[in-house]
Chain A
């Protein structure tokens, strides 16, 4: 089948970008990478890209295909071009462009380094292996499967507006140590991860979960890290108060109380933040949008309260189950 690739090229020296269209023939199961390689090998040797294993294990060929970060080697051309429409190919997002589809991964790795990405056991190692539960190791398989391809980072919404955010890849890697029973620095890691630009800055948008080709689900790891932080008492700051207040109002009345949520989240003694909320609150008052001061419970709230009580009483295992 004939495939048209619209590639965003960037000149290595001037950094000017332009679109270039290529057409090539592929077999029915041909991938976007097959197409790009054919173009490079037969038509245009100047096209620069990274690729190696062709089987989604080395992580080199991360690029934006039709606007979403994917590994080109497992993206079938027929899947992204159902009626033969041209396929848009651009470099991965949120990283500086070096040339064409090659981006600079230095910022990516510097974020990974920030999370102390190596096992730090307590005390000297045993003579043989550490004894650990089979399930604890199997639980880590999905996050060990991360190939550092950067698809998550490319499409991360928070990174788009805030380059200081540690980012989904590094935070998923951090979880891998937080949840490893052999690591002796869990508390210190949690304290570092709950700082600004850490786990509380994730905007919960699922882009990384959707784009990850290996099922790592970085956002789920970030949320699991929050849950462990809660269990371990590393629980302070706006994000933690937000979650606490949410749980309190729902547990008490069965529904969210927007009136108390924002003030309690930012901290009742945080005068600056409280003052910042006032204009917004006044606007809501003016539009009769402000929720009623009398926060009514839902009918049948007793059942909800008993459910919350039962949940609190359940002594769950220390490690998060997902």
Chain B
């Protein structure tokens, strides 16, 4: 399996979560990935653009997929939402007659010469770890096993549903992939009810109370089951779970305080990077000392 990808970092990793971009660069390199960044690719629309102008959103994504197609590379994302949107677009192009043609017709009018044939594979760091790199290979690269770190996974809706878009029939293990990844890094997997639910980010502006209740419930759930850290492959979830955690705590009346890591950050720690290497000083809920939970002979690097 190739480890060469057309990298689609998405908007948030270059905006409010630059620590994600930073850790992706370091960690994928350490794992042997070769990334060709699609600098000219635009936002996927995060589903929001689709509900305002469906065909335009489809064609905006077709443009990105066509870029990767030109390079004959699969797309690698680091965001559940980007994954879900692009998978949905690919699925529609395959199953809904006329949708690909409509998208290409709009692309022709933009004059850049992109035409999407429908063949680009879209994957993300979580899936790529298991399906392209292999969990055994990942395990072999671990230099600091995260023993003692109790990690609660939070997937993000777009990487779990709808199953048809995400090829879960062919890859049923994708529904619970964070568990073997967490365990491959030496950490303890914490099972809790909210891990496959919604973080509330999409309605943060429309219904703030509901949004923060959702985030708060899941964090509290994870903590009640013994987690000392949460990991998520979606930076939008990260924003609601980390940046909004103090406000979520306000809605609940206290009792939160769980550091939230991006997936490459968790991996990076196991590969020997320091929290500072991985931009963890930028988290709203302090995360710099997560390694104090790790029982290991190696010293925690500053």
A104 to B158, CA, bound (A): 31
**Is A258 a contact partner of B54 (Cβ separation < 8 A)?**
no
Stretch at the interface among A95-103, A109-117, A184-192, A314-322: A314-322
Q: Which of B40-48, B134-142, B262-270 binds A?
A: B40-48
Main secondary structure of the interface of A (DSSP, over half): helix
Q: Which residues of A contact B (CB under 8 A)?
A: 157-158, 160-162, 165, 196, 200-207, 209-210, 217, 223-224, 226-227, 230, 237-239, 241-244, 246-247, 250, 254-259, 262, 265-266, 276, 279-280, 283-284, 287-291, 298-301, 303-304, 306-308, 310-312, 314, 316, 320-322
B51 / chain A contacts, CB cutoff of 8 Å: 223-224, 226-227, 243
Q: Which of B16, B110, B112, B160 contacts A258 (CB 8 A)?
A: B16
Contacts of B211 in A (CB 8 A): 203
Q: Are A162 and B39 in contact (CB under 8 A)?
A: no
State in angstroms the CA–CA spacing of A260 and B53 once bound together: 21
Which residue of B17, B41, B207, B208 is within 8 Å of A298 (Cβ)? B41
Given A303-B112, A310-B110, 12 further pairs, Cβ under 8 A = A160-B214, A162-B207, A201-B210, A242-B206, A244-B52, A262-B204, A279-B247, A284-B284, A290-B16, A308-B56, A311-B56, A321-B54
Q: A157-B198, A239-B206, A254-B42 are in contact. Are A304 and B60 (CB under 8 A)?
A: yes
Q: Among A204, A266, A289, A316, point to the contact of B205 (Cβ < 8 A).
A: A266
Given A247-B52, A280-B243, A280-B247, are A289 and B202 neighbors across the interface (CB < 8 Å)? no
Q: Contact check, B53 vs A203: say whether CB atoms are below 8 A apart.
A: no
B259 within 8 A of A: no
* Residue B233 lies at the interface, judged by CB distance under 8 Å to chain A: no
Asked if B198 and A205 make an inter-chain contact with CB atoms under 8 angstroms apart, the answer reads: yes
C-alpha spacing A306/B160, complex, angstroms: 33
Q: Are B11 and A255 in contact (CB under 8 A)?
A: yes
Proximity bits, B95-112, A CB within 8 Å = 1, else 0: 010000000001101111
Given known A-B contacts A207-B161, A210-B162, A289-B243, A314 and B55 have beta carbons under 8 A apart = yes
Cβ-defined contact, A283 with B284, below 8 A: yes
Asked if B42 and A162 make an inter-chain contact with CB atoms under 8 angstroms apart, the answer reads no
Whether B274 is near chain A, meaning CB under 8 Å from some CB there, is no
For window 1-25 of B, CB contacts with A under 8 Å fall at: 11-12, 14-18
* Contacting pair A303 B53 (CB below 8 A): no
Q: How large is the interface on B (under 10, 10 to 19, 20 to 34, 35 or more residues)?
A: 35 or more
> B93 to nearest A CB, angstroms?
13
Q: Which of B162, B205, B284 contacts A209 (CB 8 A)?
A: B162
Q: Given that A204-B157, A256-B12 are contacting pairs, would A307 and B206 also be in contact in the complex, using a CB cutoff of 8 Å? A: no
Listed in ascending order, the chain B residues whose CB lies under 8 Å from chain A are 11-12, 14-18, 39-43, 45-56, 59-60, 63, 84, 96, 106-107, 109-112, 114, 157-158, 160-163, 197-198, 200, 202-211, 213-214, 217, 243-244, 246-247, 281-284
Contact between A161 and B214 (Cβ–Cβ < 8 Å)? yes
CB pair B43 A255 closer than 8 Å = yes
For A310, list chain B residues within 8 Å (CB): 106, 109-110
Q: Which residues of B contact A300 (CB under 8 A)?
A: 39-40, 112
A280 to B244, CA, bound (A): 7
B59 A205 Cβ-Cβ under 8 A: no
The 4 nearest A-B residue pairs measured at CB: A311-B56, A206-B161, A300-B40, A205-B198
- Partner among B17, B205, B214, B281 whose Cβ is within 8 Å of the Cβ of A157: B214
Whether B55 lies near A201 (C-beta < 8 A) is: no
Contact A250:B45 (CB < 8 A) given known A200-B206, A279-B247, A307-B109:
yes
User: Cβ of B50: which chain A residues have Cβ within 8 Å of it?
Assistant: 223
Cα A280 to Cα B204 with chains together (Å): 12
Q: Could you say which residues of chain A place their CB within 8 Å of the CB of B17?
A: 289
Do residues B42 and A203 form an inter-chain contact, with CB atoms below 8 A? no
Are B246 and A279 in contact, with the CB atoms below 8 A?
A: yes
Bound complex: CA A210 to CA B160 (Å): 9
CA distance A308 to B42 in the complex (A): 12
A308 to B45, CA, bound (A): 12
Given that A203-B202, A255-B14, A307-B107 are known contacts, is A247 also in contact with B283, CB under 8 Å in the complex? no
Contact A303-B210, Cβ < 8 Å, known A223-B50, A310-B106: no
**Chain B hits for A165, CB < 8 A:** 210
Cβ contact of B42, chosen from A262, A279, A288, A304, cutoff 8 A: A304
Would you call A161 and B60 a contact (CB within 8 A)? no
One of B84, B110, B214 near A303 (C-beta < 8 A): B110
Assess whether B282 is in contact with A288, with CB atoms less than 8 Å apart. Answer: yes
Do A258 and B43 form a contact, CB below 8 Å, given A310-B106, A311-B106?
no
Give the chain A neighbours of B204 by CB distance below 8 A.
Answer: 262
Q: Measured between C-beta atoms, what is the minimum distance from B248 to chain A in Å?
A: 11
Are A246 and B48 in contact, CB atoms less than 8 angstroms apart? Answer: yes
Most A CB atoms within 10 A — which of B51, B112, B114?
B51
User: Which chain B residues border A247 with CB–CB below 8 Å?
Assistant: 48-49, 52-53
Q: Given B53, B63, B163, which contacts A227 in the complex, CB threshold below 8 Å?
A: B53
